[in-house]
Structure 1
């Protein structure tokens, strides 16, 4: 489920716009704000219940739809009034006509807000009928994962792990870290995304003969995403401490502090190995750590976690051990062990090509290979034929074990990170995105919170770091300073983000067939053509959702100019075309086209030579970014008429293109001189020393362009 709380928070910011308060609708807006704030109080609790209660899930959907509707109403009003202010009312024949236009806009805003307020009264009544007011007590101490999944995830060191493949070197490293080194109680953490094999590896280490010979006492506890601390401590005592019935009765009457002391006294003086499996938060560690004494005798604690922060919080001096994905041969070996349980575990030669294709679609994730392997082990090899076509669907289907395991990481995100994670689904598969570009897009989308005096760049970097620490984003390169330069998302996690985004109407992604009708109500649309075949054109503008405000086109290789269709989308505010989304030479924006577009991003349009912008086109454009369009000869002539443009970014563009923009000398200087902030960067972060590294910045009304 999309982060509805983030949608509501974004709306509350818009309701505070000064333009709203100027138009005599304060009472109705105030009522709307109050109703949304009341809903916010219940959304976090409702989120914990909606997976198990269809009525609550529908209630959350109704809140989301009402928030989206209110957002559209506010955006529409602000746009119309701002347009009148910007044109100095020149669009009206007389001053009286202009006043009439304002009165109509004010009346429509008032009636629309009243209609939404009435809708919220109905939603509020249904909340009472669903007893959602009581869910704070019901949700407390209850996992957002269903009971069956929770039980499925609880682990035991005694269960056998026959499918151990690819972790042999990791096993040796971890055994060495447990049995050697300093005498202090060290915490050794195994970190990685869900399904990567953290628990499997830890069990193998726990049961290793060298480890068994080294320690005197052993214990294994599974914490999971939500846990009851007292019950967890009592379970430990029941399982590992030999107490009489009378002692157990006394123990059950103890409070949490007394239970911790009881365990600590039991472990005191023992050289112990304690495994804390599937720990999710710093708070969970802080609640448990006092039960594990440090008497400098070489005792060890092993943690498994998806969150690097939790690992470092437990022991900042101990380097977390990060698990990798399996390579092709390891994946194949694991697949064969799981599918061919009898005989020598080898695949019949005639089915090996098909089997390897299936394995390739599991992307080296052990859990995916094991689950799909278990599915195929019950089928004859000749029945495998349709599996490669459906495996993406199989792994992203709700209630599927892989989907639910990965979903836990999403459900654990704070609301402000959920929308940022869902947004990553708009990038093409295996796309490596630059940190700076991603943060700019998050900023343009309004997904970053304002935090004191921090810049949006600083907040965005913090958000990205947190997603990396939670194993939801993979770092592909870092700068010399250690800061993240570029990232990617594992394909299965990308499928998860797309599924969750579609469910919440946050984003719709179309792959391959661009002529499919886009889903109704989606706020964002991304069209990716993974088949790399040339497509003719987009659907007609009427086929798109009227609510569509953000659109990404990638690898679509369109023959016909997409602008002819896209400029008619009245609510479109953000448009990104990259990776040869358009394969033509000419592109044109006509008068009155793109009435609300605020951000336009053109990247790697490999055939584009000429872009035309008519006077009156792009009347709301604030930011324009053009990256690596090597055949584009110049900026469009009509750009000087786009007076709203605040920021222009040109990166990795041809030298001759940039020379036309020289201050006072270039043929195209008149097209950009009105833009307050200009950035021209030819070969940024390029490792080839023979390429030029020219960069120019003009901020706050500056008028200089520098070329050496």
Structure 2
């Protein structure tokens, strides 16, 4: 319920939106809306204090519920009003072109919204008067320090984000587990790590899994997250996609295989390999039974690792292996972790003496549980020292049945979030357990929901990035993957924190998760719903009971699910949707009814067979993000030019993007240059839409991916991209044959990807002149000659270099002084490359080397014991040599 302040705040922002103001003025209901805004502003003054007092006081709790309901009512009235008058608004365009005459429909709409606003105003007055009735009229009178601590702007300047998760107290455990993996019996053993939630099982095994010793010992390494909801088929398919070299035809065959066929294929592949398979967070014996046939025992020292809360599962998987049970942290280990999380403690290598006693008392209440220490430390890291005592007094919890009850401390950290972060955190309950979610996709959903506030000249994505980093700083969210430049690529949330988000969200009618339990009806007032099951018949009835939904996220784990006719109800029933995300919709074309969802701001279709978008897609004037992941190329109608708010249009392949690209085919000659807000466009085929210099007029583009079929197309492309001054990321695919002079590339370009380019001249000679280039990816036959060279002082700012499937490359030379800033080098499937360049030993900045699917002779030269080329890489801290596609 602590999200109610956010609900009111977002409602007031909505009512100030220029488009809504235009509608209000046009339909002559401005006076009524202004009175409504004034009432909500007065009510907002009481909410902060009410939020702090509602714990244990049913009177205040009931009053907050009343505020929530009336705020939701007001939002529904405004959005429904806009839905009904949208066509007339689009016809008129701007207030200056308003006709004096109204149609009967428009007069009716104006009259109805007036009555609805009057009803809400009366309800607000009743709620305000009820404060006296409830005896709570004194709330809101005390001014105090915001529980949010420092502002987001201040936090950005004072709290640097850690690059890696803190690892404290598990050093000995790590040694034990590594020994179990690399020593002992030759049979395929199951190594289990057992412990309660929040004890650090996944953190420990992740550290082991990523260690160079382990990665170089095994020929094959794979990490699988199981949790309570999983699809065996999806898990097995993902192993195949990541490790096996398959043609496009083979990939489609794999998609049609059943579980038995997939297990057999993996088992055959692993026969000759010493493999390491991690099954993280496995709950039931049935999960092990479903997967074990894929892991053959050929007496070569292969290992399977399980992390589980259930010791019985561990013993069932391998009765001969004793599970490793994690302990709680000692007092000093707990203090060490606490100091790392509370950044305010560490100054000049020491600790503030006046806080140590108080800090140790707080740590003692965490009873050595790492998750609790991390979360409370994250909370205190954004608080002033004078506020620590209040936190200490708020923690009251104890051991229950041998486990630590941590719900209170997690709830405390949630309640301390500033109002702008609370809906962002609750939204994480949408995602399935143990499912990683993309950082960009999450931020775009936040923006679509209206959770992010414009801040100066910054984009909403930049604001959202700060919000995500603050949640990470508070240990409410974990970083799963960083990209080669160190930015956050994907995140995850601990299942205990996810449960907290779901519980708080459900109580406040913010969100409800439906997992297929027919005995749990969907609340009629729920604003958002996440559906995590396979049977569409179980929720198609939701449409009649939940017309006010703002967000629907569907995660399917079944093949033949959500066919086109089952999908239609989504687009016909929920007229006020802002976010629609469907994972597993096996349809070729979206229904025309999609054009009715005029409030839609985010549309995502992943894991689909989508081939075409309907022309009605152009009727979505507010759409900000269009994301599609399909196994086919996507046809897009020319009506896309009408989507004036579109900021991000990105298409990816359902298969591993490294294997089979998915390309956007834009039909006709739409004037995309009219979409001034467009920042992301990828991956789009060159076509008529680019004629007349249209591409070069998209001056706000930051990320662009283009597929080029001919050399002539490439020439026109170069003449366009030179004008894109804001462009940071560029992906060029298709037949280029030759690169232009470096002056054709935008000066702000930091990332460049080339794929299927068939370049006949060494690209390094030109690309090393790009002064701001930080990431370079030469992939899949982008260069087809035998030699390549990097010269002195070339690539002055390059930090990450990827060379993949350069099948003709035999020799790569690196002169001393080249790539002076290189941090990360990734080389894969360069089958003819004989050895690493001599000059690599002089690149002192290099801290990560990844080699995958390289010839055995190449890898033999890099062995620590006797390898001819070991001296070239011995200075590199992290070396990963594997068969897995990285």
- Give the TM-score, by structure 2 length: 0.48
Aligned residue number for residue 112 of structure 2: 108
- Please state if 1:417 is matched with 2:421: yes
Aligned residue number for residue 665 of structure 2: 660
- Please state if 1:560 is matched with 2:549: no
Cα distance change of structure 1 residues 575 and 456 upon mapping to structure 2, 3 Å threshold: closer
Q: Is the 8 A contact 1:278 1:304 kept in 2?
A: no
Q: Distance in 1 between matches of 2:589 and 2:494?
A: 36
Give the C-alpha shift of residue 130 in structure 1: 2.0
The 5 Å alignment of 1:6-405 reads 6-17=6-17, 18-19=21-22, 20-88=24-92, 98-135=102-139, 167=169, 169=171, 201=329, 203=331, 275-278=359-362, 306-308=376-378, 310=380, 371=400, 373=402, 401-405=405-409
Q: Is the 8 A contact 1:7 1:67 kept in 2?
A: yes
Q: Is the 8 A contact 2:627 2:649 kept in 1?
A: yes
Q: Distance in 2 between matches of 1:205 and 1:596?
A: 51
Give the C-alpha shift of residue 124 in structure 1: 0.7
Give the C-alpha shift of residue 114 in structure 1: 1.4
Aligned residue number for residue 454 of structure 1: 458
Q: Distance in 2 between matches of 1:406 and 1:103?
A: 51
CA RMSD after TM alignment: 4.8
Q: Is the 8 A contact 2:421 2:467 kept in 1?
A: yes
Cα distance change of structure 1 residues 202 and 706 upon mapping to structure 2, 3 Å threshold: closer
> 1:313-350, CA deviations, whole angstroms, 9 ceiling, x for partnerless residues?
999xxxxxxxxxxxxxxxxxxxxxxxxxxxxxxxxxxx
Q: Distance in 2 between matches of 1:679 and 1:650?
A: 7
How many residue pairs match? The answer is: 485
Unaligned runs of 5+ in 2: 149-167, 175-195, 201-326, 343-352, 365-372, 386-396, 685-702, 707-720, 737-886
Aligned residue number for residue 355 of structure 1: none
Give the C-alpha shift of residue 566 in structure 1: 0.9
Unaligned runs of 5+ in 1: 145-165, 173-192, 209-219, 225-262, 281-302, 316-366, 375-399, 662-666, 684-692
- Please state if 1:3 is matched with 2:73: no
SS at match of 1:628: strand
Q: Distance in 2 between matches of 1:55 and 1:312?
A: 31
1:468 to 468, 472, 477: 472
Cα distance change of structure 1 residues 78 and 404 upon mapping to structure 2, 3 Å threshold: same
Q: Could you say which structure has the higher strand fraction? A: 2
Q: Please, which moves more after superposition, 453-462 or 74-83?
A: 74-83
SS at match of 1:566: helix
Aligned residue number for residue 599 of structure 1: 602
Q: Is the 8 A contact 2:526 2:549 kept in 1?
A: yes
SS at match of 1:635: strand
SS at match of 2:14: helix
Q: Could you say which structure has the higher helix fraction? A: 1
SS at match of 2:406: helix
SS at match of 1:526: strand
Q: Distance in 1 between matches of 2:374 and 2:434?
A: 27
Cα distance change of structure 1 residues 58 and 274 upon mapping to structure 2, 3 Å threshold: closer
Q: Distance in 1 between matches of 2:8 and 2:532?
A: 29
Cα distance change of structure 1 residues 564 and 480 upon mapping to structure 2, 3 Å threshold: closer
Q: Distance in 2 between matches of 1:636 and 1:671?
A: 13
SS at match of 2:631: coil
- Please state if 1:485 is matched with 2:509: no
Give the C-alpha shift of residue 506 in structure 1: 0.7
Q: Please, which moves more after superposition, 72-81 or 494-503?
A: 72-81
Q: Distance in 1 between matches of 2:470 and 2:592?
A: 40
Q: Distance in 1 between matches of 2:473 and 2:332?
A: 25
SS at match of 2:127: helix
Cα distance change of structure 1 residues 634 and 457 upon mapping to structure 2, 3 Å threshold: closer
The 5 Å alignment of 1:405-554 reads 405-513=409-517, 517-529=521-533, 538-540=539-541, 542-554=543-555
1:695 to 705, 708, 716: 705
> 1:56-96, CA deviations, whole angstroms, 9 ceiling, x for partnerless residues?
1110010011011111112223343442021359xxxx988
Cα distance change of structure 1 residues 99 and 279 upon mapping to structure 2, 3 Å threshold: farther
